[in-house]
Amino acid sequence: MKRLEGKVAIVTGAGAGIGEASAVAMAAEGATVVLADVLSERVEVLAPKLEAAGARVLAVGFDVTEEEGWLSLVDDVRTRFGRIDVLFNNAGGGAGPGRDGAVTDLLLDEFWRTIRVDLYGTLLGCRTVLPVMAEQGTGSIINVSSLRAVIGTTGGDAYTASKGGVLALSRALAVQWAKHGVRINTLAPGVVLTERVKAFIPPEDPLYRKMLLGPCEARDVADLVVFLASDESRRMTGTVQRLDGGASVS
């Protein structure tokens, strides 16, 4: 039996990078996967590939910052599949160079954009899905923070603030919802070599030298997502999983 057989998983930001890799990995382990992305064309391309491999898939154009969208999505998933076992709150991402930075220099509109997507979007996902999981008596929510929320770094203060909020929120929810059988764990990746990251962190950046085991690939994160989604992690909640190649200890 596959590790996620019979489970229904929602993945936000499923059209590329960590979200895509995680959706592919969960589908391969038997999950029904809801591919949600603000760029609907991405998931509409991915869905047939997963279906051709035998997976049950739903592709949805979706903005994580819209409460009505969340309510509609959750209602649709329950109607189609009867349950929601996993929520991977992956959608988000910091600004490109020149918009985020030190708190004295960053663009304030970029601060609010980042908070809205990364923190508010995560909050809405949890707010909408938690009652469904509580009714079932089981569920796993996986939120994405960042290594920046765990250790001191320079620059990127809007992103750091948003991801710090995700980390604190996840811990609070883990305490509150454990009695309902819902687990909430957090990923805190360092550099993950997605196409987006490769575009603005050049290979010569000294950041890479801090990673004792080298930077992560999206599939490395996907492996951990599958574990946290599965019953193998049934006694884990409130944890912060660092995927940083050893950067935080070097």
Active-site residue set: 159
**Max intra-chain CA distance, the chain:** 54
Distance between CA 20 and CA 12 in Å, rounded?
Answer: 9
Distance between CA 123 and CA 117 in Å, rounded?
Answer: 10
Name the CA dihedral angle for 215, 218, 221, 222, rounded to a multiple of 10 degrees.
Answer: -160
Distance between CA 164 and CA 246 in Å, rounded?
Answer: 20
Beta bridge partners of 188: 242
* Residue-wise burial string across 67-101, b where 16 or more C-beta atoms lie within 10 A, e elsewhere: eebbeebbeebeeeeebbbbbbbbbbbbbeeeebb
Strand 139-144 relative to strand 86-89: parallel, antiparallel, unpaired?
parallel
Which residues lie closer than 8 Å to 122 by C-beta, 6 or more apart? 64, 89, 92, 143, 144, 166, 169
- List, in sequence order, the alpha helices (H) in the chain: 17-28, 40-52, 67-81, 108-114, 121-136, 157-177, 195-200, 218-229
